[in-house]
Amino acid sequence: MAIAELTIVPIGTGSTSLSRYVADIQRELEKQSGILYELTPMSTIIEGSLERLFEVIRVLHEIPFNLGAGRVSTSIKIDDRRDKASSIAQKMKSVTDLLEEPQEMLM
């Protein structure tokens, strides 16, 4: 499974607020099959096959246009690990496990 972090920014909307767009993007994600997703304060993380991620990103990129934006900037980071299984949950667990280990004093 691949993991993508995306930030979709409508430009020229006359407002600094983005929550309307974020909410509509989340509503669309609820309808999409074959992916997992997680909203963060600064972006959205989606997980699925690479082909499916590109399909979903294309749909999400169109949402601000459908809401009247004249320009949309979408930033995408993709983590496509093929040496072993990877997931949003696995990546978080790796860090959490390290945080739970006792740390040696640094001198």
CATH number at residue 63: 3.30.70.930
Q: Tell me: the pLDDT tens digits for 37-81? A: 999 999 999 999 999 999 999 999 999 999 999 999 999 999 998
Upper half-sphere CA count for residue 58 (Cβ side, 13 Å): 6
Residue 106 pLDDT > 60: no
Overall domain count for the chain = 1
Residue 107 pLDDT > 70: no
Give a yes or no: residue 87 inside a domain: no
Give a yes or no: residue 49 inside a domain: yes
pTM across the whole model: 0.84
Query: Which domain covers residue 18, as residue numbers?
Result: 2-82
Instruction: Look at phi and psi of residue 34 and say left if phi exceeds 0, alpha if psi is from -120 to 50, else beta.
Output: left
Mean pLDDT of 7-11: 96
Give a yes or no: residue 34 inside a domain: yes
More confident residue, 13 or 44: 44
Give a yes or no: residue 29 inside a domain: yes
Give a yes or no: residue 50 inside a domain: yes
Please, which contacts does 35-42 make with residues 24 or more away whose CB atoms are closer than 8 Å? Answer: 36/87, 36/88, 38/88, 42/7
Give a yes or no: residue 38 inside a domain: yes
Give a yes or no: residue 94 inside a domain: no
Q: What per-residue confidence (pLDDT) applies to 5?
A: 97
**Banded pLDDT at 26 (limits 50, 70, 90):** very high
Give a yes or no: residue 60 inside a domain: yes
